[in-house]
Structure 1
Amino acid sequence: MADKPAWAEIAGQVHTFMGTAWICAHSAHTDYRVLSAHLPSWQPVGVLDTLRLAKATYPDLDRYSLDALIEHVRPDLSEAPAQRHRATFDAFATAQLLIAMASRYETWGQLVAAAVPPGLPGAPDPEKDPTLW
């Protein structure tokens, strides 16, 4: 790890790269909490959680782990970099699962209502848009 840059050296680049875009992760609370701790001034537009989305999209599954969802959805992972349980593979698989599940929602608002955990950026406000609830 001695040849890797220290966080302080790249934090600005990461912040710029992430910008104010939406992010997506499986069990997104964890990723959001870690990123926010390291980038306190960073604020994404929203946070999509494929775990939350999977529970809304496939309510009858026994398990909602990334492996269980890959087995259930069977996304094309032939172009995935690296191997399962490596960050690049898992991110690629999560993206493919998001695409597969998103296709089952008619509007962005419906997807957001199903995928954004309450309290995280992008979560619908029931007082501002009661039609989502």
Structure 2
Amino acid sequence: MNDFASWPALLVVDVEGNGTNPPDLVEIAALPVRAGQPDTTKAGAWLIRPERPVTARAAGIHGLTNAVLADKPAWAELADQVHDFLGQDWICAHNAHVDYRELLRHLPKWEPAGVIDTLRLARATYKDLPSYALDALIEHVAPDLSQAPRVGRHRATYDAYATAQLLLAMADHYETWDQLVAAAVPPGLPGAPEPEQEPTLW
């Protein structure tokens, strides 16, 4: 599908947490997709000092230690800014339930127009892959990540960029935005197609 002009405003998002349950957010990235390209010049990225310390396991994954975050703003200082940046755009994320749930928990008044899940989309697009994890999809699709942020995997800005490139690669398999939505939006999340009603006699 190449008719990207028909797409609504879309932000590819990724969040990283501090490893507690439920997590405090330590990083958020929101990358606009415009005219079939990720627009890094308009991207939003925030590092957040969590209320509770980052666990050693989480720090080992994304590298955001308590020392790195010590001088960053607390969530209360950033919430309005992040809310305004996200607006009512569509969002896209890999395993989007997680990112949507955490953003909504931190921004209870926020409501996106819809939620694209690249994990769900990949399962519909590429049948019978042994794994649909982000690393496995990057290996399978081999998207151009030469312009990705240099921070590396498991950082929100990098993962959002990689997810955006995977979304655009998979979009070529669908003729229309509506077909993409039907394959990519999990039931019960914003933007999910209404189930077709069974015809009745009345």
With the shorter chain as reference, the TM-score category is: over 0.9
User: Which aligned runs of 4 or more in structure 1 are off by greater than 2 angstroms?
Assistant: none
SS at match of 1:100: helix
Unaligned runs of 5+ in 1: none
How far does the alpha carbon of each residue in 1:43-94 deviate from its partner, in whole angstroms, 9 at most, with x for none? 0000000000000000121110001100100000011102122211111000
* Deviates further, 22-31 or 83-92: 83-92
Q: CA deviation at 1:7?
A: 0.7
SS at match of 2:116: strand
Say if 2:192 is the partner of 1:123. Answer: yes
Q: Of Structure 1 and Structure 2, which has the larger fraction of its residues in helix?
A: 1
What residue in structure 1 maps to residue 81 of structure 2? 13
In percent, how many aligned pairs have the same letter? 74
- Rg larger for: 2
Q: Of Structure 1 and Structure 2, which has the larger fraction of its residues in strand?
A: 2
Q: Mapping of 1:1-133 within 5 angstroms?
A: 1-81=69-149, 82-127=151-196
SS at match of 1:14: helix
Q: TM-score, normalised by structure 1?
A: 0.93
How far does the alpha carbon of each residue in 1:22-45 deviate from its partner, in whole angstroms, 9 at most, with x for none? 111000000000000000000000
Counterpart CA distance in 2 for 1:90 and 1:116 is 19
Between Structure 1 and Structure 2, how many residues are aligned? 129
